[in-house]
Chain A
Amino acid sequence: MPYLLLQIVLIPLVAAMIVLLVRSRSNFLFGWISIASLVYTTVLMIIAGFRVYADGHILEQHAIGPDVSLNLLADGLSLPVGLIINIICIALASYSLHYVEHRIDIIYPEADADTRNLYFKRFFFLYLFFPAGFMGVAFSTNLISIYFFLELLTIVPLYFIMAQFGYSDYISRYKVALMCLYWGVAGAMLFLIGILLCFTLIGSFEISELTRLSGNPKTFWIALLILTGMATKLALVPLHVWMPWVHAEHPTCIAGLLAVYANIAVYVIVRVLILPLQNDMLVFSMPIMTLALITMVYGALLTLAQSDAKRFCACSTISQISYSVFGVGAMTIVGIEGGIFYFLSHILGKAILFSTAGILVFTMETRDLQKMGGLWHKMPLTAVLWFASALILSALPPTSGFVGKWLFFTGAFQSVQGHPMGLVLVIVAVLSTILTLVYTFLTGFRIFFGPLKKEIADRIPKDPPLTMSIPLLVLAMLAIVLGLFPQPVLVLLQSVIAPF
């Protein structure tokens, strides 16, 4: 198959154009077009996966300008990341079908059929920029194209979808969308300054050339700039301010993707900094781990204090992302492997958790968790989904989270051998992960057990349409399969990380 990787990145954009041009009375058609295109790219990625198993990697070179290129590389690191993200994109596209309808009903109640049709079209047009951006970030080997895709993600889908389909009233929706935009652009800007500085030293934007920076005294500052930029995306304390706001304003159907958007920065850090510049990065190991620990605890405590379904998930994201940052910060082979694996596990779990919260909002038409209770008998499937995601996020066996947690803590312990303070740090980190268990299960019990609350009883809550729940169940199954048989993915990750 020619241009395998280029297709993976560009097909969603082509599909977006098709969505824009097609005229149809059927609102859902736009969604189905998006899903079809994503299924196609997933199949391509699986084909690419077999080739990567056989040959180690696929490199496609597409020069654009003198130093800028759209070179795409599929290797053991980028492929699993891309594949899982793409599957999540499919699931959430299917989930969006009904959810967007619900949003449009609420925000634009006066709209006639044609206008509603237009909104659907707009949503899925914008939605397809997500997979394109993610695949671009995952597969690009050129720093400028990574920067481009990061900005693409921030500006096109995030800003516009939030501004048009978000919560609250018109004004605050735009305000929060702008806030997200500023933070995103600021982070990307730091990244850009870092890579331009780097260009002045080595004269290239290719990641493979970055090893030449090794040992250069300026590398520290470049790394610091890029790390700070990425920390904004990752919402590490104290750069986490935007996250609860932005997550709360989103239409829930893309909130899962926002978690990916934030967490993919971990992948960028590994790709751009840690793998090429291992020795120069070791200085950052302790600070990153400390910061991650603080964020883990702070995020979890923040989550415990929430009563709003969406802010709850948002704060949980702050805490969860730091798990993978912690693993990557350990900078040992197992630690990085675990960090990346946990990143995959987290986005799976978070996509389910967010979407389940979305289902609750969808059926209850309230975001206040305190008004919910006793829903087990009314919405069994939703309850199963919630607890599945709780299992994944609190990293209990047999889910992928457990494997990730096991690996990155092993790595962390290995990296701190001989440092008493570091040892204590890691132990505290292990213990702090129990907070996730507390907030996910406690909230789950409050929502689904106990007596049915009066205010909601007259709504006759019931499980959502199957296009919303089935994709999420598939994601949960995927997380469990990854939890029992992670070896294929681990072998791939190892093939890239282990030479380090």
Chain B
Amino acid sequence: MSPVIHSFQPLLALAFPLGCALLVFLFRNRPNIREGCTLAAGVAQFAVIISMAPIILDGKVIVSHIITIAPGLEVGYRVDAFGLIFAITSSFLWILVSVYSIGYMRALHEHAQTRYYFMFAIAIFSAVSIALSANLVTFYIFYEALTLSTYWLVAHHEDQEAFAATRKYLSYLLVSGWFLFAAVVMTYALTGTTAFTDGGILSKDTASAGVLILLFVLFALGSMKAAWMPFHSWLPAAMVAPTPVSSLLHAVAVVKAGVFGFVRIVCYVFGVDLMQALGLGLMLGTVASVTMLVGSFFAIGEDNLKRRLAFSTISQLSYILFGAALLSSYGVKGAMIHIPFHGFMKITLFLCAGAVMVISGKKQISQMAGIGRRMPITMAAFTVGAVGMAGAPPVAGFISKWYLCLGTIQTGYLVFLVVILVSSLLDVIYFFPIVKTAYFDEPAATEGSYGDSASNSERGRPLYLFMVIPLTITAIFSIVFCFFPGMFYIIDLANLAIRGLFP
């Protein structure tokens, strides 16, 4: 067992977004101070979280217990390597998304911006809490909090379309939350604990195989946030939200929390051995494979850029589930590092999509002919993201795909190797036409459709810099991660987590 340090650091890290929410509310009439608070809180939170990494890499575990409400109902944080990977990703991307939000929300003169920043902070608070939670109960509580706080973000436009989408969003995610609750209670009733442990808390002696498989199915249904098929349709529907929210949903918080939770459950509740013994790895792997392929096919048919990205996410998330399902050290490692890497790449793509929408007003891919010349930086960043999604060097996606492929070989299911390669090919098929349209197609006959005014170019207004700079940074990071996967300690943390899981 790793030595345990009791520290207030996790609480400090979480105090920032919570305090930020309060300040946002207090300064609701002073937009500049309000956004300043968000940025400051983001930087501070990231600093605290990254400062925990050396301690964790030293082989220790940071614990802070908050409250024991009733027997079994314990709320507390426990920072381990895997959780820290997700926390680092979320907190870093929050800073960039906040900068981007300033540009996006102000350029579009969106209403209810205070509510927006408030709920954003709460969503980040919930996401980081999920990352650092010590047990299933804490995990469950913040899982629900995340659903409820993002509800307001998805419903931001408050029109018919937004409400229809949020109805779907809530129906799926709340029902899913109830499945998760059932699973958590059942786990507690079976084992008397809900604390995440290396190697899992359930074992073959806990209950009969049928009961354990039923429990796993409950957990899987409780993880609808991971958008595995056929429970994915809430995610494309949620695209009605403002673009920074979509990127939050996809890269930082919601679906990431879903897959993060799923990997947690596979590795730290069930444990690799038990999964193997019950044959659940194969089951999950099959579901993930189907989602990867079918999600990609759906993406090919979409003309709306954001919806295409949504289906791409559905497909990419299943890479992570897939990696966990391989139950081999390389596979799980691939899954773990794909969480940050996919986060960085997908956020780049979303930020680009948003920038294109705000600056040129285009939402459909077919209208984007020649836009690369108008917005060279944005489309360059987009290309980086697209290359990364396909898993080609020199972008971070290559590293995670490499490990996933190694994982399939390690496990011996070569059919899964085929699946992953075909899926990357499909990624190429639906991403590269966008790049081609943007750079090589002539704009439609009316050149004037872009307008000639300077405000239609990405450097047209200073405000646009708030959008262009973050997406440039994420694109650069996506490349840097390929060459230095050790940045932000990510690969080291993943290695540490793997050593714990596969001693």
Contacts and interface: CB of A to CB of B under 8 A. Distances in A.
Nearest to B214: A423
Contacts of A486: 69-70
Interface stretch (B173-181, B350-358, B360-368): B173-181
Given A433-B178, A437-B174, A484 B69 contact: yes
B230 interface: no
A323 interface: no
Contacts of B73: 403, 406
A393 to B, nearest CB: 15
Given A397-B141, A423-B211, A487 B189 contact: no
Contacts of A434: 174-175, 178
Interface string A482-493: 011111001000
A398 to B, nearest CB: 8
Contact of A413 (B69, B174, B190): B190
Interface in A406-451: 406-407, 409-410, 413-414, 417-418, 420, 423, 427, 430-431, 433-434, 437
B218 interface: yes
B70 A490 contact: yes
Contact of B70 (A407, A418, A431): A407
Contacts, number: 62
B273 interface: no
Contacts of A485: 69
Given A410-B188, A413-B186, A420-B210, A430 B70 contact: no
Contacts of B178: 430-431, 433-434
A376 to B, nearest CB: 13
Nearest to B218: A427
A490 B189 CA distance: 18
Contacts of A417: 189-190, 207
Contacts of B70: 403, 406-407, 486-487, 490
Interface string B68-98: 1111110000000000000000000000000
B175 A413 contact: no
Contacts of A407: 70-71
A216 B186 CA distance: 35
Interface in B171-205: 174-175, 178-179, 181-182, 185-186, 188-190
Contacts of B211: 420, 423
Contacts of B181: 430
A396 B190 CA distance: 23
Contacts of B210: 420
A406 B185 contact: yes
Nearest to A413: B189
A484 B211 CA distance: 32
A485 B66 CA distance: 12
A409 B185 contact: yes
A334 interface: yes
Contacts of B218: 427
Nearest to B175: A434
A409 B175 CA distance: 17
A341 to B, nearest CB: 9
Contacts of A433: 178
A337 to B, nearest CB: 9
B415 interface: no
A413 B214 CA distance: 13
Contacts of B141: 397
B302 interface: no
A410 B72 contact: yes
A483 B208 CA distance: 34
A410 B189 contact: yes
Contacts of B179: 431
A485 B207 CA distance: 32
Nearest to A420: B210
Interface in A442-500: 483-487, 490
Contact of A427 (B68, B175, B182, B188): B182
A410 B181 CA distance: 11
Interface in B117-147: 141, 144
Nearest to A489: B70
B108 interface: no
Contacts of B186: 413, 427
B69 A431 contact: no
B190 A483 contact: no
Interface of B: 67-73, 141, 144, 174-175, 178-179, 181-182, 185-186, 188-190, 207-208, 210-211, 214, 218
7 contacts: A396-B144, A410-B185, A417-B189, A434-B178, A437-B174, A485-B69, A490-B71
Given A417-B190, A417-B207, 8 more contacts: A407-B71, A413-B188, A413-B189, A414-B189, A431-B175, A434-B174, A486-B70, A487-B70
Please name the 4 residue pairs, one residue from A and one from B, whose CB atoms are nearest each other, closest first.
A413-B189, A430-B182, A409-B185, A434-B178
